Chain A
Amino acid sequence: MPLPFSLSSLSVRRRLVRWASLGILLTAVLALALFQPFDYQENTSLDLRFRWRALQPVNKHIIVIEVDDPTLKELGYWPLPRDFHASLVDVLTQLGAKQIFFDFIFTDSSPDDAVFAQSLTQSGRVYLPYVLAVGEGISPKRLVYSTGYVAGLRDELRQSAKGTGHINSIRDIDGKTRWVPLLIRDKVNTHPQVALKMATDYLGLPLEDVRTDGQMLVIDGKLRIPVSKGESLLVNFAGPWGKTFRHYSYVEVLKAFRDYTQGKRPPINLKGFKNAVCFIGLTATGTTDIQPVPVQNDYPLVGLHANIFNSIIQNDYVFRIDAKTNSLVILVLLVLVSVVAWRWKENPFGTLVFTGGVIGVFFTVCILVFNLGGLWVDFFYPVRLVLLTYATLTIMFFIQANKRRELVEKELSIAKNIQESFLPDPVEHVAGLQVATEMSTAKEVGGDLYDFARLEEGRLGVFIGDVSGKGVGAALVMAKTITMFRLLAEAQTSPAQLLASLNREMHKHKQRVIFVTATYLVYEAAAQTVSLSSAGHSPTLWVRAQANTVERISPKDGMPLNVFLPSVYSEEKIHLGTNDKIVLYTDGVTEARNEKGEEFGSERLEDILRATILLDAKATLQTILSALGEFSGFVPQHDDCTLIILQRI
């Protein structure tokens, strides 16, 4: 019966689901970017950019006149009587100032209003502000509407002023002023920001023809000001207070003019007021007109208007790139990090360094484009996403690699079982011999091998071998060698002939890189003799109980199997006395290392054999194993070890 769906379609479906969810996730984060989340941090990063920016050039005609502490000390308390303002207007007008702006609220009436209004009218170049009621929570993203005045301007003064405008600004949630709405609408009028009004007058542009395309405010088809969706301007602060515009104290200007009229040399250069645009504001300690802005935590707001004015007439703005472009930047960064993370799957540290590098370069670029072009590119959200992507991919790859490793381990443990099945069943006694064997591999599977062949006429063949190399490759050759040995053992009873045949067989397969050292011996129970040949294998040890000696049996000729064809193998024959032992081993035993890197060595092995001459095969084997364990200590086994001890009993 066919299955309702094929296995492959199941895996395709799973893959589809995986890619689809990845796509949805990516779309979600990019869509979120359109809403410009984490504005709080972005604002902080904007402040950094402002602070790390070089001082911007400002128009040299702009002058700030401060009602500072010395002014209040000499002229009395705030608010100053308006006839002082009237005097200042007269002075500045006489000195040839082009525009004069008072950043003070004139809502209430004052006995000096008539004098002040007269000066304003005579001067014809003074601008006055008012504050509109705009409600809570205004933002650069939305148009700002007014319901009336919070602090209006006395009609008398309004009529005498050259121009008026609002001085409302937007305070971000961290309390800083970054944005200013250029236009505020009520039911009847559209109110310009006062610096915009001054700037358009300065440039000789009428403020009647104002259009907007969502990114630019276009005045009279000539002046283009980049604005937010809500027609707010990101104020381009030229630098910290006192380091940009020219500054004078209110009282100093008045005194200098008095000196001048009395024929004294004034302490300040009054000629500098010719064609000046003067912003007069409060900077005295404790006045409410000082607030935090990006460049500085206590910035007199009169400077805000000076900066807006400067920005417009110099055509030098800072602006935030739109959300779509920001999303594109994010996409590019994410693709970059993902591709590298994918390529360097095996190297999470390298990917981390790369990701760090990407963030570093991105940061530098952000600072640079702000410095050079006034561009504000979002930094925090992209970086957050880049880090998240790095973490997600690294964890994903780690889990994947873990799964793969588990699979390999499972496979290896299966291989180990199969390899063990190639080894003979454990035997303790055969053909009048006591037999003790031990094999341990350095990895899951190994390249050592041994086998017993029960031959005709009560003879026993004992085969031991060691495949060069370790691990899976060696294990496969081990299986092949032992299989070939079993096929040939019955037909070839002479050890030398068997090894020669085995060598020939192996050469048929033309497999290079790997060779096998081996020893094959045949024990004849009746004659109690051992015939032995070796293919480049470690010497066989003969422990003679009677003579109390250990002898090495190492037939003269015999290269490893699979090295050279034809290869000649010589044979040695010995007579085994009662309790004599034959010890076969692979080089993993003699080359075992301790913590100092020393080898166990054949001398040590022979010493143990001499010391255990009275013990039986099993006890001897145990003694050697515990000596090996003690010698190696905590050094992991680096080669496969095999030991076979035969004892005539």
Chain B
Amino acid sequence: MQIKLGETKGVTIVTIEGEINLESSPQLRKAFDDLLKKGTQKIMLDFQKISYIDSSGLATCVELFQRLQDKSGKLCLVQLPVKVRNVFEVTRLDKLFPIYNSQEEAFVNF
């Protein structure tokens, strides 16, 4: 798994590539931790290059969501491949996270 950070229009864009699983989740969690420590409020997770996400990956995203909410921050997910989107739908987590098809669409809603 690879994580790239960028910022556009005041929103931190986290682009993740590869599999988010039990082994890579701690790395992702560390990246989120660092962002929260810096006081980041608006985070967009770009999942375009995600091939797989397991329950620990989901849990890591949920945790980020919860912590951001405590700080009145905002989180959204963009460009989910069909398979990954299915996982969110099955677990009903699509109702927790705002999910958009493109970054542009997400910016409108930030």
Q: A residues within 8 Å of B by Cβ?
A: 466-470, 512-515, 517, 534-539, 554, 557-560, 563-564, 587, 591, 639
Contact with A along B15-32 (1 / 0, CB 8 A): 000000010010001000
Can you list 11 A-B contacts (CB < 8 A)?
A468-B54, A468-B55, A468-B59, A469-B56, A513-B60, A515-B55, A515-B62, A535-B92, A536-B91, A559-B95, A563-B66
B36 to chain A, nearest CB (A): 12
Given contacts A469-B56, A587-B55, contact A538 B90 (CB under 8 A): yes
Find B59's partner among A515, A558, A559, A639 (CB 8 Å cutoff). Answer: A515
Chain A contacts of B105 at CB under 8 A? none
Inter-chain CA distance A558–B90, complex, in Å, is 10
Q: Report the Cα distance A537→B91, complex, angstroms.
A: 6
Expressed in whole angstroms, the Cα–Cα distance for A515 and B67 within the complex equals 15
With a CB–CB cut-off of 8 A, which chain B residues contact A515? Answer: 55, 58-59, 62
B-chain residues with CB within 8 Å of residue A639 when the two chains form the complex: 54
Q: Is the CB of A468 within 8 A of B56?
A: yes
Across the interface, A470 reaches (CB within 8 A) one of B22, B62, B90, B91, namely B22
The total number of A-B Cβ pairs within 8 Å is 61
Q: B93 on the interface (CB 8 Å rule)?
A: yes
Q: Are A513 and B63 in contact (CB under 8 A)?
A: yes
Provide the bound-state CA to CA distance between A554 and B92, in Å.
Answer: 10
Pick from B22, B55, B60 the residue with the most CB of A within 10 Å: B55
- Min distance, Cβ B52 to any Cβ of chain A, angstroms: 9
Contacts of B95 in A (CB 8 A): 557, 559
Chain B residues within an 8 Å CB radius of A514:
59
Closest to A467 in B: B55
* CB closest residue in chain A, given B55: A468
| Given known contacts A513-B59, A639-B54, A559 and B22 CB-to-CB distance under 8 angstroms | no
B59 neighbours in A (Cβ, 8 Å) = 468-469, 513-515
Q: Which residues of A contact B22 (CB under 8 A)?
A: 469-470
B29 → A minimal CB distance (Å): 8
B96 located at the interface, meaning its Cβ lies under 8 Å from any Cβ of chain A in the complex: yes
Residues from chain A with Cβ under 8 Å of B91 in the complex: 517, 536-537, 559-560
Determine if B54 and A560 form an interchain contact, defined as CB atoms under 8 angstroms apart: no
- Residues on B with C-beta less than 8 A from A468 are 54-56, 58-59
Binary A-proximity of B54-82 (CB < 8 A = 1, otherwise 0): 11101110110011000000000000000
Across the interface, which residues of B come within 8 angstroms of A539, CB to CB? 90
Within 8 A of A (CB), among B28-49: 29
**Chain B residues at the A interface, C-beta cutoff of 8 Å:** 22, 25, 29, 54-56, 58-60, 62-63, 66-67, 90-93, 95-96
Contacts of A466 in B (CB 8 A): 55
Contacts of A536 in B (CB 8 A): 90-93
A639–B54 Cα distance when bound, in Å, is: 10
Q: Which of A513, A537, A554, A563 contacts B96 (CB 8 A)?
A: A563
* Complex: A564 Cα to B92 Cα, angstroms: 11
Q: Are A469 and B55 in contact (CB under 8 A)?
A: yes
State in angstroms the CA–CA spacing of A309 and B90 once bound together: 95
Closest Cβ of chain A: how far from B35's Cβ, in Å? 16
Distance in angstroms from A376 CB to nearest chain B CB is 53
Q: Are A559 and B96 in contact (CB under 8 A)?
A: yes
Other A-B contacts than A512-B67, A517-B55, A559-B96, 9 sampled, CB-CB below 8 A, are A466-B55, A468-B54, A469-B22, A513-B59, A513-B63, A554-B90, A557-B92, A559-B92, A560-B58
Contact check, A559 vs B55: say whether CB atoms are below 8 A apart: no
Distance in angstroms between the alpha carbons of A557 and B89 in the assembled complex? 10
Which residue of B has the minimal Cβ distance to A515? B59
Most buried by B among A468, A534, A639: A468
Residues of B within 8 A of A537 (CB): 90-91
CA distance A538 to B91 in the complex (A): 7
CB distance from A329 to the nearest CB of B (A): 44
Contact A563 B93 (CB under 8 A): yes
The answer to whether A559 and B93 have CB atoms under 8 Å apart is yes
**Bound CA–CA A423/B7 (angstroms):** 48
B60 neighbours in A (Cβ, 8 Å):
513
Residues of B within 8 A of A538 (CB): 90
- Return the chain B residue nearest A556 by Cβ: B92
Closest residue on chain B to residue A538 by CB atoms: B90
In the docked arrangement, what's the CA distance between A557 and B91, Å?
10
**Cα separation A554 to B93 with both chains bound (whole Å):** 14
How many Å from the CB of A606 to the closest CB on chain B? Answer: 14
Q: How far is the CB of B51 from chain A (nearest CB, A)?
A: 9
Please indicate the chain A residues that have their CB under 8 angstroms from the CB of B66 in the complex: 512, 563
Give Cα A314–Cα B94 distance, bound, in whole angstroms.
Answer: 90
Min CB gap A55→B, angstroms:
58
CB distance from B3 to the nearest CB of A (A): 18
Q: Which residues of A contact B62 (CB under 8 A)?
A: 512, 515, 560, 563
Question: In the complex, how many angstroms separate the beta carbon of A587 from the nearest chain B beta carbon?
Answer: 7
